[in-house]
Amino acid sequence: MEFEPKIVSFLCNWCSYTGADLAGTSRMKYASNIRVIRVMCSGRVDPTFVLKSFREGADGVLICGCHPGDCHYHEGNYKCLRRYHFLKKYMAQMGINPDRLKLAWISASEGKEFAHLADEMAETIKSLGPCKVKDEMEIFD
């Protein structure tokens, strides 16, 4: 059976979730590997959420927020961007491929872009294979 990755996606309430919703209401097809969690802002995505996702079995994590300058709370997406860079660096140190984490900007009108992004992310993670974090963390030897 082909590997079907689990991708946890944190979408901001104001732009990206609405964008994903538009993809749905427009009946666009995209990879069903995406599991959406709505957050009020991409700035709400604590690095703990990302690490916990991997620890509990996610193969990839996708964070989407408003385009730079468009944040409903002025600068939440910038904070997310800085955390994202930190996380990537940390993941590389811990032996987790940084490509398993992606940050993208999706506006409320970009349903098509979201569908495309979801497909692209699913492809990336499929090519990387299953994430070993959950299994490895459960081995105490």
Partner 1 sequence: MSQKPKIKLAIYWGAACGGCCVSVLDVHEKLFDVVAAADLVFWPIALDFKYKDVEAMADDYIDVTLYNGAVRNSENEHIAKLLRKKTKILVAYGSCAHMGGIPGLGNFSDRKGIFDRAYQTSESTVNEEKIRPQTETEMAEGTLTLPEFYNDVKTLDQVVDVDYYLPGCPPQTERLVEVFMAIVTGAELPPKGSVVGALEKTLCDECEREKTDEKVIKEFKRPWEIEDDGKTCFLEQGVICMGPATRGGCGARCIKGNAPCRGCYGPSSAATDPGAKMMSAIATMIDSDDPEEIESILDQVVDPAGTFYRFSLPGSIIRKTIG
What residue ranges bind partner 1 (CB under 8 A)? Answer: 46-48, 50-52, 54-55, 68, 75, 78-79, 81-83, 85-87, 89-90, 93-96, 132-133, 136-137, 140-141
Residue 95: CB atoms within 10 Å: 9
In terms of CB distance, is 123 or 137 closer to partner 1?
137
- Please report, in angstroms and rounded to a whole number, the separation of the first and last CA atoms in the chain: 31
Q: What is the smallest separation between the CB atom of 25 and partner 1, expressed in angstroms? A: 32
Shortest approach of partner 1 to residue 106 CB, angstroms? 17
- Paired with 90 in beta bridges are none
CB of 28 to partner 1, least distance (A): 28
CA angle 125, 81, 118 (to 5 degrees): 30
Residue with smaller CB distance to partner 1, 115 or 133: 133
In the chain, what's the furthest Cα-to-Cα distance? Answer: 51
Of 17 and 105, CB closest to partner 1:
105
Structure tokens, 130: 């299953």
Whether the Cβ atoms of residue 62 and residue 102 lie closer than 8 Å to each other: yes
Q: What are φ and ψ of residue 81, in 5° steps?
A: -60, -45
Residue 43 C-beta: closest distance to partner 1, Å: 9
Task: Between 25 and 140, name the residue whose CB sits nearer to partner 1.
Answer: 140
